[in-house]
Amino acid sequence: MAVIPRTAYDWEITVFSTDGRLFQVEYAREAVKRGTTTVGIKFKNGIALIVDKRITSRLIEPSSIEKIFRIDEHIGCATSGLVADARALVERARIEAQINRLTYEQPIQVKALARKICDFKQTYTQYGGVRPFGTALLIGGIDDTGVHLFATDPSGAMMEYKATAEGEGREAAIEYFEKNYKENMSMKEAVELGLKALIYATEKKPEKHAVEIGIIEEGKEFRIMASKEIEKYFEDVAGEE
């Protein structure tokens, strides 16, 4: 059996390849691409985060799979990629949010939190003995500057969006959003658009119990939808088809 030659920059996080690439960061992005499809949509006065949990066995309890997390009263996030890595970043984000409240006696701004998490992720692309986080977070929230949705990359890059996606069906979901997203949608319209994007991206209708939805609305705290409420949206989407 032929042995494939390896180069130092193929496995060293601190070494650039000859064409200026960090392969370990790119491998982390591949871990995200293999993750479940996750979408985020900005509507008139809030953000909707929707995740396909991709239940692989009928023996799994769907409620045991967490892909959407509450960071603070006004901020939530959805993840695609390695869930264990995401939990570590969520804990870090929660600590940063509480530090801001204790220090300045006010909630942290969404952009400031996203930047702190990205700065933390970026440090894991510089030092030996560590690896990049193999997860992408969609961070959505509302602060005194408005409604914000940020996507974070394993490299530590961040970008603000009106609607975006991560995971296996990212390109198809974004293509769907490009064609169908509208400004100033209602929450109902945004959730239904997100579910349709999931269906379009996965090329099949997700199971009701395998979808998780997080909502943040102006004047209200971030919440994860109850299963009965999710079922109602599924029925509405099915009725339009």
Catalytic residues: 36
Q: Which helix (H) or strand (E) holds 168?
A: none
Nearest CA among 158, 151, 154 for reference residue 133: 154
* Cβ partners under 8 Å of residue 124, min gap 6: 13, 130, 131, 132, 133
Kindly report each contact of residues 219-228 with a partner whose C-beta sits within 8 Å and lies 24 or more positions away, as own/partner. 221/73, 221/74, 222/70, 222/71, 222/72, 222/73, 222/74, 222/75, 222/76, 222/141, 223/70, 224/68, 224/70, 224/76
The span from the CA of 125 to the CA of 38, in Å, is: 24
Tokens for 123?
């440090």
Q: Which residues pair with 147 in a beta bridge?
A: 142
SS3 content of the chain, % helix, strand, coil (to 5): 40, 25, 35
* Cβ partners under 8 Å of residue 93, min gap 6: 71, 75, 77, 113, 116, 117, 139
